[in-house]
Structure 1
Amino acid sequence: MAEDTSRGSAVTVTAVAPRDTESTSLLWKSVSSEKETTWKTETKVLGTYSISLIIANMLQFSLNMSSMLIISPRGKVEFGAVSVATTTANITGFMVFQGLCTSLDTLCGQAWGSGNLELKQLHVQRMIVLLGAVGTPIAILWFSANHLFSLILPDPQTSVLAGLYLRIIICAIPGFVVFEAGKRILTAEGIFFPVTGILGAGACTNAFLGWLLVWVGGIKLIHDVSGADFAKRCDLGFIGAPIAVATTWTLIPMYFWLYLTLVGKRGHLPYLTSTALRGWSPMLKLALPGLVMVEAEHLAFEILVIASAQLSTADLAAQTILATLNSAFWQIPFSISIAGTTMIAHHIGARSARLARISALVVFVSALLCSATNSILFFSFRTSWPRIFTNDPDVVDLVENTLPLVAAMQLFDGLVACCNGMLRGCGRQSVGGWVNLSCYYVVALPVSLWTTFGLHWGLKGLWAGVTFALVLVTFAELIFLITADWQKSVEDADCRNIASVDREP
């Protein structure tokens, strides 16, 4: 997003001259002033950013979740295995990287808003180094995941296939890391459309490779894993899915490099410099609580997926479908929250607390309308959604019976995404981290496990605890945002920008 010339009247800040390029935000008009900027202006900006972000996040979500759609026709065992593996990969790996990268939404956005372009590049360099270091233990965990699955999953065939999937998907880590951090070079300036195009090319690549490897290249493996019958199931048709995903994530950074080269922005590439190896304190202070904000909810869902496996294979498949639908629709309010994070961070970096508050209000109202729409869609088409994934009557019945509760949960899930985005924009990730952590693990999981296994509510019990936790998170974060000192966020951003260019080793 480009910078905002609407500065606070009490403080004089030197602005970077507006440029008539794609990176020139709607917020940046030379004739505008802070007094002229209203909720209508902010709504227009939010809508412009959100459209590209919704498409981009849906495409990125499809890359990680496409394996379930490709594999589901092969049977319950394969579908259960790929669901456990993809969920585990998301929670223990991809969500970790995304959670740490949320600090860049704050740091790069505020750096751009303050006019410090070099600092934005520096933040991305530091993040790539951090993600590379974090990716090593994650790869080791995935390589040995089959042994862990054998301890917690009752079906040995499911655990073996899930472990095989994770071993192959290790190859996706380098490409995912580079792109997830590198794309902030553009999104921090409000340039979202090229990222959408790159992910669109990646989705096409993934679809072609999935078709080629899963359905065309279904060559049987000759070794027996755990019985002759199971050996027939374990073919290239199954492992072709993770191979397609890993290959796609390897190619996406190359698409990103190609775009920057073609448009003459190779200087935007985050080449590593010696400065990136020091001055990490501001980044870590935001990255770690940002990780907790993202991981708290998604790790809770992973635990619930594992818990559903203790009920039956059909319950596991149904829980996976519900979680997948929830995650797909969640991308919409989440995209609005990212757009809001960028807008608020720009205003904070430009030292305008008033515009930051206006942006926050616009983001909240938009997320409320979006979440209500999601809730209506979930309930209205509850008999149709499960048949997108499977025709198994047992699984379809379980999903249909649980969808009304999940529909009610959609309202609060979207509002939580919105509140988390606003907290990131003003650099208050620590608040969201503590609220999410306490509500999900002190409230959600105990209630879910008690209602599921103690009261025998089945899948409805698993979702009851999560819904209750989301209600608590929504109200807790809203109360903080309403009573927060936004001017203090402006002052903290100034101090953070200064500390981030610290040259001491």
Structure 2
Amino acid sequence: MESDLREKLLREEEGLDRPAPEGPAPAPEAKEEEEEVAEGEEEEGIKRKLVEENKKLWVVAGPSICTRFSTFGVTVITQAFIGHIGATELAAYALVSTVLMRFANGILLGMASALETLCGQSYGAKQYHMLGIYLQRSWLILLTCAIILLPIFVLTTPLLKLLGQEESIAIMAGTISLWYIPVMFSYVWAFTLQMYLQAQSKNIIITYLAVVTLAVHIFFSWLLTIKLGLGLRGVMSSMILAMWIPVLGQLAFVFFGGCPETWTGFSCLAFKDLGAIIRLSVSSGVMLCLELWYNTILVLLTGYMKNAEVAIDALSICLNINGWEMMISIGLLAAAGVRVANELGAGSAKRAKFAIVNVVITSFSIGSVLFVLFLLFRGRLAYIFTENPAVAKAVAELSPLLAFSILLNSVQPVLSGVAVGAGWQSVVAYVNITCYYLVGIPLGTMLGYGLHFHVQGIWIGMLLGTLVQTFVLLFITMRTDWEKQVVIAKERLNKWYLNQSKESNGRNGTP
């Protein structure tokens, strides 16, 4: 009996003696229909998630791209008007805007990206009142940084003379750099307010202000420079006005009820825990500075070549086109940072990974289309900027490199945005130093000067540096334990969290 019972139990465990299910067995056609229905529901679920994610992505990316185009457009419009004033003024403006302002812009924008990490993660964690405190802390840090940078703008002429620049250009650059001081200080508020609003997906106001800014700048540049004959003073006054319009508009939006959950007034608690935020800001500044200065070094290395005038003209046209395309990439960089930070703050590693995959594919798709277009049009694009056939020929030769730059720029900035959202700025700073300055520039110098590939060689070397950096960032992103990043984000937010009662006391001046 026991042996029979044991045998029966074994047969049941192996599924050999189970009772048949009640009712007729489902037909093969019914099974196929059920599988098709399940697959269809899964596809619908993925489509729905993609639509929702892309809505969240473009709510941030759209206004950010518009703002970048507007800021870049103000610079180009100013350059066009100054070009009609005189050659010395144009050369001095190009020197100040491409070297001096890029230096200051890189530092201030980089340091402001720490706010993008903190505000994005706090908003995702529903610590809404902390966004206003982080914004005020960032104002203090960036304002101090701008004051430290001030002597460079005041002493531009003697500095350029010391570096061997022609005296007439150095003197004119010194004059233009003084006009740029209010522009630099506008960045303190412009960058921080944009990142504060982006974290909440409330940056549609930025788009409206960007359109107004361009229209105002074109009108006042024409009125003051051409109609009233004020020359350099007219166009620079218009530029200052154009840079401060978005700042004043965003401040009004924040102060007068646009962000009731996150802006509760000025607080003395903005002075608390500044040390930790300064460290994050400095690492953010180093990370973005190294990226923004990379192309400047490309121009400087080209300046030492034979027939440098044609080479620089061709390169400047390519970098101008690349600069317009970069506005799209930087907009998607900001969107990637916000989406990753929001999801990490909300505690969802799965949605953070989905957001990363979506933004990388979206950006790469845009870059691929532009890559094909620039390969097709090649030197014909040059005639938009010049009538010189030698320069157009040089642009045609550089066009494949421009196309590959655009393709790489569709991925690399987005991965940097992921790093900002996760708070990896210090790690990426080391990656940038290694890939750009220990790989790209030495390779470019060797190919350009050592192997006599000229400007193409310099650019190829620097592109290889960017390619290495892209692969490294891609590897880091793919190998990251995003569940652990959620824990790190929560620890960071809990460490700097202040409850609302303390914030109220801080606003009243009570410690």
Task: Report the TM-score when normalising by structure 1.
Answer: 0.82
The corresponding residue for 1:302 is 296
Q: Given that residues 107 and 283 in structure 1 are in contact (C-alpha distance below 8 angstroms), is that contact kept between their aligned partners in structure 2? A: no
Task: Give the AA of the match of 1:255.
Answer: G
Residue of structure 2 aligned with 1:358, choices 338, 348, 354? 354
Deviates more, 1:318-327 or 1:495-504: 495-504
CA distance in 2, matches of 1:203, 1:271: 31
Q: Given that residues 102 and 293 in structure 2 are in contact (C-alpha distance below 8 angstroms), is that contact kept between their aligned partners in structure 1? A: yes
2:58 equivalent to 1:62: no
2:109 equivalent to 1:115: no
CA distance in 1, matches of 2:336, 2:103: 26
2:53 equivalent to 1:45: no
Q: Partner of 1:38: helix, strand, or coil?
A: helix
Q: 1:380 to 1:319 in 2, by over 3 A?
A: same
Where does the alignment leave 5 or more consecutive residues of structure 1 unmatched?
1-33, 220-235
Q: Given that residues 367 and 407 in structure 2 are in contact (C-alpha distance below 8 angstroms), is that contact kept between their aligned partners in structure 1? A: yes
Q: 1:155 to 1:319 in 2, by over 3 A?
A: farther
CA distance in 2, matches of 1:467, 1:52: 29
Q: Aligned ranges for residues 315-330 of structure 1 at < 5 Å?
A: 315-330=311-326
Q: Given that residues 46 and 340 in structure 1 are in contact (C-alpha distance below 8 angstroms), is that contact kept between their aligned partners in structure 2? A: yes
Q: Given that residues 279 and 501 in structure 1 are in contact (C-alpha distance below 8 angstroms), is that contact kept between their aligned partners in structure 2? A: no
Q: Partner of 2:113: helix, strand, or coil?
A: helix
2:258 equivalent to 1:250: no
The corresponding residue for 1:210 is 221
Q: Partner of 2:411: helix, strand, or coil?
A: helix
The corresponding residue for 1:93 is 104
The corresponding residue for 1:277 is 271
Say which structure is richer in helix: 2
Q: Given that residues 380 and 392 in structure 2 are in contact (C-alpha distance below 8 angstroms), is that contact kept between their aligned partners in structure 1? A: no
1:40 Cα shift?
Answer: 4.3
Q: 1:266 to 1:347 in 2, by over 3 A?
A: closer
1:284 Cα shift?
Answer: 2.9
CA distance in 1, matches of 2:129, 2:72: 31
CA distance in 2, matches of 1:186, 1:431: 26
The corresponding residue for 1:421 is 417
1:59 Cα shift?
Answer: 1.3
CA distance in 2, matches of 1:81, 1:318: 19
Query: Considering only CA atoms, is the larger Rg found in Structure 1 or Structure 2?
Result: 2
RMSD: 2.8
Residue of structure 2 aligned with 1:410, choices 406, 411, 416? 406
The corresponding residue for 1:24 is none
CA distance in 1, matches of 2:186, 2:80: 23
Deviates more, 1:148-157 or 1:196-205: 148-157
- Measured against aligned partners, the alpha-carbon deviations of 1:90-132 in whole angstroms (never above 9, x if no partner) come to 3221221111111111110110111111111111100010010
**Percent of aligned pairs with the same residue?**
22
Where does the alignment leave 5 or more consecutive residues of structure 2 unmatched?
1-44
Q: Given that residues 279 and 500 in structure 1 are in contact (C-alpha distance below 8 angstroms), is that contact kept between their aligned partners in structure 2? A: yes
- Measured against aligned partners, the alpha-carbon deviations of 1:428-475 in whole angstroms (never above 9, x if no partner) come to 222211111211111122222333333333332331222111100110
- Measured against aligned partners, the alpha-carbon deviations of 1:335-368 in whole angstroms (never above 9, x if no partner) come to 1221121111111001111110111111111121
- Measured against aligned partners, the alpha-carbon deviations of 1:152-195 in whole angstroms (never above 9, x if no partner) come to 46544443333332221112122221122123332111112111
Q: Given that residues 83 and 90 in structure 2 are in contact (C-alpha distance below 8 angstroms), is that contact kept between their aligned partners in structure 1? A: yes
CA distance in 2, matches of 1:317, 1:153: 21
Q: Aligned ranges for residues 159-308 of structure 1 at < 5 Å?
A: 159-218=170-229, 236=231, 238-260=232-254, 265=259, 272-308=266-302
Q: 1:422 to 1:469 in 2, by over 3 A?
A: same
CA distance in 1, matches of 2:275, 2:46: 36
1:480 Cα shift?
Answer: 0.6
Q: Given that residues 401 and 460 in structure 2 are in contact (C-alpha distance below 8 angstroms), is that contact kept between their aligned partners in structure 1? A: yes
Deviates more, 1:293-302 or 1:144-153: 144-153
Q: 1:210 to 1:378 in 2, by over 3 A?
A: farther
Q: Given that residues 282 and 500 in structure 1 are in contact (C-alpha distance below 8 angstroms), is that contact kept between their aligned partners in structure 2? A: no
CA distance in 2, matches of 1:465, 1:150: 31
Q: 1:89 to 1:363 in 2, by over 3 A?
A: same
The corresponding residue for 1:367 is 363
What is the number of equivalent residue pairs in this alignment? 455
Q: Given that residues 172 and 249 in structure 1 are in contact (C-alpha distance below 8 angstroms), is that contact kept between their aligned partners in structure 2? A: yes
Q: Given that residues 129 and 264 in structure 2 are in contact (C-alpha distance below 8 angstroms), is that contact kept between their aligned partners in structure 1? A: no
